Amino acid sequence: MTVVLEVRDLQKSFGAVVAAKDINVTVQEHEIIGIIGANGAGKTTFVNMVTGYLKPTSGQIEFAGRNIRGLPPRDITCLGISRSFQVPQVFASESVFDNLLMAYAVADQTGLGLLSPLHDDARAVRVDSHLRRYQIAEYRDATASTLPQGTRKLLDIAMASVRKPTILMLDEPTSGISVEEKFDLMDIIMEALRQDQTTVLFIEHDMEIVERYVSRVLAFYQGEIICDAPTAEALVDPGVREFVIGEEYHRTRTNNGAGADAKS
């Protein structure tokens, strides 16, 4: 399997506050990785640095062998890494359809091509098919600001996956979603991504979700990675137990091959 992302000695300080330190991660193609840790542990900072929203204080980030450190988010998106947001970032006053239409239009066009019409029958077909993939087709004409939280999250992720990115980083995809709906939501998302064989990293607080979908876990604590291991191992790691999930965590599900295996 090829290495698709390599992060070496990454560090981020805001003045005297060290938000991230000694971050070393190697990600292989098609992996599904869970990022866990308490609030403020540096998970979102990590995502922000890899996707270009924050510039690291020091360290290297390589995507498919290419140095991407310091590039702005738009360039990194074009190269093949996309992300979703903890608070879904959508075009609130527009319909779900128009949101995705814009996503496809930006993905399709460059330079003078941007002067071609936004609405286009071929593009509309692709939007509709993408809507079905994420099972939000019934909300096609609804204004984004009126969507229930789960649907808004799906829209956010749908927009991020329009370009069929090599890597997709999801920031707490199930936060704010009721317990009954979490699994359904993740099932939809992971199935949609599985079809494109996307490499996925997602930040998650719910260990049941982590267990069910990921093959590997990165545990953060106070800006550092304290554990980088296959799921089963990580969840019994003493450091992880002490600083992230607590000593009382009982795994109630049977371990089926350390979580989902992304390779089909």
Q: Select from 35, 159, 177, 234 the one that contacts other proteins (CB under 8 A).
A: 159
* Paired tokens of 172: 């707490």
Q: Which stretch binds other proteins (CB under 8 A): 29-37, 109-117, 215-223, 234-242?
A: 109-117
Stretch that binds other proteins, among 83-91, 127-135, 237-245, 250-258 (CB under 8 A): 83-91
Q: Give the long-range contacts of residues 131-134, CB within 8 A, separation 24 or more.
A: 131/96, 131/97, 131/100, 131/158, 133/158, 133/192, 133/195, 134/158, 134/188, 134/189, 134/192
If binding is defined by CB under 8 A, does position 130 make contact with other proteins? no
The binder of other proteins chosen from 29, 62, 94, 224 (CB under 8 A): 94
Specify the residue, 91 or 183, whose C-beta has the smaller distance to other proteins. 91
Q: Does 64 bind other proteins (CB under 8 A)?
A: no
Q: Closer to other proteins at the Cβ: 107 or 229?
A: 107
Residue 100: closest CA among 59, 129, 61: 129
Query: Of the listed pieces 18-26, 54-62, 110-118, 203-211, which binds other proteins according to CB under 8 A?
Result: 110-118
Give the pair of three-digit tokens for residue 34.
């869970």
Q: Is 91 in the site for other proteins (CB under 8 A)?
A: yes
137: tokens are 């087709």
> Considering the rule CB under 8 A, would residue 55 count as an interface residue with other proteins?
no
* Both tokens assigned to 237: 């790691």
Which CB sits closer to other proteins, 101 or 207?
A: 101
DSSP assigned state of 68: -
Question: Would you count residue 103 as binding other proteins (CB under 8 A)?
Answer: yes
Bridge-based pairing of strands 167-171 and 66-67 is: unpaired
